[in-house]
Amino acid sequence: MLRRGYMDTLSGYTQRPIAFVLRYLQQRMTSHIVIVTTVGAAVACSVGTQYGVKFLVDALAAGPAHNGVWLAFGFLVALIAADNFLWRIASWIASFTFVGVTGDLRRDIFRHLTGHAPGYFSDRLPGMLTSRITATSNAVFTLENMFVWNVMPPCIATVAAIALIGTVSPAMAAGLTLIAGAVVIAMFRIAAAGKPLHDEFADKAAAVDGEMVDVIDNMSLVRAFGGLDYEHERFDATVNRELTARGRSLRYLERLRLTHAAITVVLTIGLLAWAIKLWQQGGATTGDVVLVCTLGLSILHATRDLAVALVDVTQHMARMSEAIATLLVPHELRDHPEAEPLVKSGAVIAFNNISFGYPGGTQLFEKFNLRLHSGQRVGLVGQSGGGKSSLFTLLQRFYDVQQGSITIDGQDVSKITQQSLRDAISVVPQDISLFQRSIMENIRYGRPTATDDEVLRAAIAARCDFVEDLPDGLETMVGDRGLKLSGGQRQRIAIARAFLKDAPILLLDEATAALDSESEEAIREALARLMRGRTVIAIAHRLTTLRNFDRVIMLQSGRIIEDGSPDRLMQGQGPYRELVTREMNRLAKHAAA
């Protein structure tokens, strides 16, 4: 519960990218303080080396007999050594700290992303979501590096250099302060004005990633319909839009850099002339002229580096902002503030006067009522769109009802923890979902703490005897979404997974639809064992699978039009009897053929 509440706080950063970054910096505050302090000291030493050069030049100008030459030499060498070693120390610590931040960030975003309801994922391409997690992680890593190596050093160097120049000419220092400040502010404002271009590029880049994943995930469909040329043209158009957006963004940045370069040339010439004039008037030593020239150039170069870094920062901030605005939207379905775990005292399910319609769709259920007794086996039949799958969806609380309530053993599913609700329900779907892992791991997903022996017993109970013919047995990899296995084999793995989970409620979505004729009867027996002692709700398109059920409910447009045992409904003259008769005639014709 604490972890879930902790992750929900991420939604508060949707429009606050800077605060989002600071959240992760604070988690490793000590390391960041050490890095910043070390870099600050290194920059101070770097600027100090130019004062060391001035000290050495003045000592040399005094003649060979001057006693301070070697002292100046030692001072300069010490600054050079400290400068280099401090940078290396900062880089070493940063190699652990910055990488750690990206790990923290990706773990948290992934947890937040997986907390969304199914409707969130149905409206978005998986590739776009995964690319945004990567983009956010990369952007934060780049921003940290840019701040530490490209933004902070020029700022410190500029302040330190102006302070040293002030020892030679306060007027020159004041002028440089005004000019440097004006340049940085102007460049930053101009850079910020290009944010819409950077936002457009970020959006188009994410679309390219999403398009690639979508096509690759559906490659069999693409080939089956000869759609390669169409997809190539579609992808080319998507890439061209991304390239156009990127070109606009980059050209805007280049115009900004060109402007700064022109300003830098003019100011450098003026600064050099000023320093030489002071020397001619006797207001500066030779070393002072060298110091002013080197520090002045450093200041102008620092403002250039800072301006360029700030421009790049705006581009990375744009991509990160776009990503977190998509990823960190609040969860639509959250545990109730006072939610308690489900108390498993049985498995009585009740839909109490519920009203529900999918977002953007028509109303499906209106004051719908249904009560299922513990241990009862209930089949749902009817035409597509009648509400069969929606009852499954609502029972698992993938959506909340607009009115009424759904209860398990009298406990409202909206007021119990989602994890305990999932623990109480096993699902054997028609479209089997398998990870690209071993058969053992896919079955163990029903109960991750199960031992190998328990997984093996579940496989045996589900009649997964086909594993004996596989080269690696239960350790065989199933391929992407289980494509290395037949439909019937995937179905039996799903049944084994349900055996292993051993939940009191079992949902079957035409669980024998994908089975071949040889194994269908054996799987029926396995399902019969699986259903024993559980409350079962089964969506059935083959009505013969319901002959041993306790109850059949026929739905039409979100209403119950027939409800009773299979035998009783067959004795009537209603739509259920018509469907069964039609199915039996079809099977008889098929057998005769």
Q: Which CATH number fits the domain that encloses residue 35? A: 1.20.1560.10
Q: Residues 150, 155, 158, CA angle at the centre, nearest 5°?
A: 120
Q: What is the DSSP-derived secondary structure letter of residue 124?
A: S
pLDDT of residue 394: 92
Q: Are strands 551-556 and 559-564 parallel, antiparallel or unpaired?
A: antiparallel
Whether 440 and 501 share a structural domain: yes
Whether 274 and 220 share a structural domain: yes
312 lies in some domain: yes
> What are residue 484's phi and psi, to 5 degrees?
-80, -10
> What are residue 325's phi and psi, to 5 degrees?
-65, -30
What's the token pair of residue 432? 């089997």
Whether 371 and 231 share a structural domain: no
Q: Is the dihedral of CA 117, 120, 123, 127 positive or negative?
A: negative
Whether 305 and 431 share a structural domain: no
- Among all chains, which residue has been given the structure tokens 């409707």? 119
Record the pTM. Answer: 0.68
Q: Residue 51: CB partners within 8 Å, gap ≥ 6?
A: 164, 291
Whether 355 and 269 share a structural domain: no
Closest CA to 397 of 417, 380, 373: 417
d(CA 514, CA 491): 7
pLDDT of residue 39: 92
> What are residue 524's phi and psi, to 5 degrees?
-60, -40
Domain end: 327, 360, 389, which one?
327
pLDDT of residue 5: 47
Whether 244 and 204 share a structural domain: yes
pLDDT of residue 515: 54
344 lies in some domain: no
343 lies in some domain: no
Range of the domain at 44: 2-327
Q: Residue 189: CB partners within 8 Å, gap ≥ 6?
A: none
pLDDT of residue 307: 67
Domain end: 292, 327, 362, which one?
327
d(CA 169, CA 175): 10
Chunked into runs of 10 residues, the chain (593 residues) has average pLDDT values of 52 82 90 92 83 73 69 83 90 91 89 80 74 84 87 82 76 76 73 70 72 72 73 84 81 75 74 75 71 71 70 75 81 80 85 89 89 92 88 90 92 90 87 84 89 90 85 84 80 88 88 59 77 88 81 92 90 85 76 61
Q: What is the DSSP-derived secondary structure letter of residue 430?
A: S
Whether 372 and 307 share a structural domain: no
> Domain total for the chain?
2
pLDDT of residue 195: 66
pLDDT of residue 156: 84
Closest CA to 396 of 337, 342, 447: 342
**pLDDT per residue as tens digits for the range 193-243:** 776 776 677 677 767 777 777 777 777 667 766 777 878 888 888 888 888
**pLDDT per residue as tens digits for the range 12-30:** 787 888 888 888 998 999 9
Domain end: 327, 358, 376, which one?
327
Q: Residues 81, 177, 292, CA angle at the centre, nearest 5°?
A: 50
Q: Residue 490: CB partners within 8 Å, gap ≥ 6?
A: 432, 434, 478, 482, 514
340 lies in some domain: no
CATH number of the CATH domain containing 449? 3.40.50.300
Q: For residues 324 and 20, is the Cβ–Cβ distance under 8 A?
A: yes
342 lies in some domain: no
334 lies in some domain: no
Whether 29 and 166 share a structural domain: yes
pLDDT of residue 31: 92
d(CA 247, CA 204): 12
Looking at this protein, which amino acid is placed at residue 391?
Answer: L
Q: For residues 527 and 512, is the Cβ–Cβ distance under 8 A?
A: yes
565 lies in some domain: yes
C-alpha dihedral, 543 to 546 to 548 to 554, nearest 10°: -110
Consecutive H or E run containing 191:
helix 170-193
407 lies in some domain: yes
